[in-house]
Amino acid sequence: MGIRENIEMVQHRIAAAAVRAGRDPKSVMLIAVSKTKPVSMIQEALSAGQEVFGENRVQELCEKYEVLPDAQWHLIGHLQTNKVKAVVGKAALIHSVDSAALADEIEKRAAAMDVVQRILVQVNVSGEESKFGISPEALPGLCEHISALSHVKLEGLMTISVKGMAPSGNRAVFGRLRQLSEEIAALKLPNVTMQELSMGMTHDFEEAVEAGATMLRIGTAIFGARSYQE
Ligand SMILES: *Cc1c(COP(=O)(O)O)cnc(C)c1O
């Protein structure tokens, strides 16, 4: 199947899951994860109407941004402090902020460029399996810290579920992220909204929609398996 057909099939499954959950399918944004995939495939997706793409490495995002600046680029992978400068202003949304030091660096670079960088905080809900993401216990403190930064806009939370987990396990992870976002929203922090929940990938996006995801990060189901090391 071609990329256009894959996108249509994924959109169809998203809509069906949304309807099952009593949600408007339009409230769920599909981010096509194009890491390791060539620009020609991204152009094919663009011509099928897909305009939002996710990359997990700063250098790859910047290279593709140069070629296709009109697409919307999201950074979904781990971000090191020394790479912040390159990506601020290019990424429409950074999904992976997980420390005060990283948020401070984004603030510094965004202020220098006179832009406001939209971000999500990545939470490590599933425990030991993932190296990245802040713990649920430390989340309120980090959100309070970010609330005071004038060039960083916190718009929600992101999590990565564990591959190979049963659907019930994924549901527990997604339900927990949603609960955490409601707890943060209840703090009514200035300059912080909890409108976005970035969760769900190829293997579990329907469960994510049912649990309230507003952004899905889907690679394999659109572009096929990745053939080299991520
Ligand atoms: C690669 C990646 C995805 C997409 O994974 P698929 O299983 O190919 O859909 C989603 N989120 C993050 C953070 C990724 O690195």
| Ligand 1 closest atom vs CA 218 | 9
* Ligand 1 atom, smallest distance to 35 CA: 1
What is the reported pTM? 0.97
Rounded Cα gap, residues 142 and 41, in angstroms? 37
Q: Is the CB of 201 under 6 A from ligand 1?
A: yes
pLDDT computed for residue 122 by the predictor:
98
On whether the CB atoms of residues 191 and 147 are closer than 8 A, the answer is: yes
| CA–CA separation, 221 and 9 (whole Å) | 9
Percent of the chain at pLDDT above 70? 97
According to the model, what pLDDT value does residue 188 have?
98
217 CA distance to ligand 1 middle (Å): 6
Model confidence pLDDT, tens digit, residues 60-84: 999 999 999 999 999 999 999 999 9
74 Cα–ligand 1 center, Å: 12
Distance (Å, rounded) from C-alpha 200 to C-alpha 217? 6
pLDDT score, position 32? 98
pLDDT band at 229 (very low <50, low <70, confident <90, very high): low
- Cβ neighbours for 66, distance < 8 A, ≥ 6 positions apart: none
Is the beta carbon of 215 within 6 A of some atom in ligand 1? no
48 CA → ligand 1 middle, Å? 21
Q: What is the pLDDT of residues 37-62, one digit of tens each?
A: 999 999 999 999 999 999 999 999 99
| 218 Cβ closer than 6 Å to some ligand 1 atom | yes
Question: Token pair for residue 140?
Answer: 């309120």
- Residue 200's pLDDT band (cuts 50, 70, 90): very high
- Residue 104: predicted pLDDT: 98
**Mean pLDDT in the chain?**
95
For 123-169, the pLDDT digits (tens) are 999 876 667 999 999 999 999 999 999 999 999 999 998 878 888 88
pLDDT computed for residue 30 by the predictor: 98
In the prediction, which pLDDT does 154 show?
98
The secondary structure of residue 123, as a DSSP letter, is: B
Q: Which alpha helices (DSSP H) does 129-196 contain, by range?
A: 139-147, 167-186
Taking every pair of Cα atoms in the chain, the longest distance, rounded to a whole number of angstroms, is 48
Q: At 83, which amino acid appears?
A: K
pLDDT band at residue 230 using 50, 70 and 90 as cut-offs: low
For ligand 1, atom 6, the nearest C-alpha belongs to 219
The residue whose CB lies within 8 Å of the most ligand 1 atoms, and thus the one to mutate among 41, 217, 218, is 217
Beta bridge partners of 153: 118
| Cα separations in angstroms, 174 against 80, 98, 159, 194 | 26, 18, 8, 15
Band of residue 228 on the pLDDT scale cut at 50, 70, 90: low
Ligand 1 geometric centre to CA of 200 (Å): 9
pLDDT given at position 23:
98
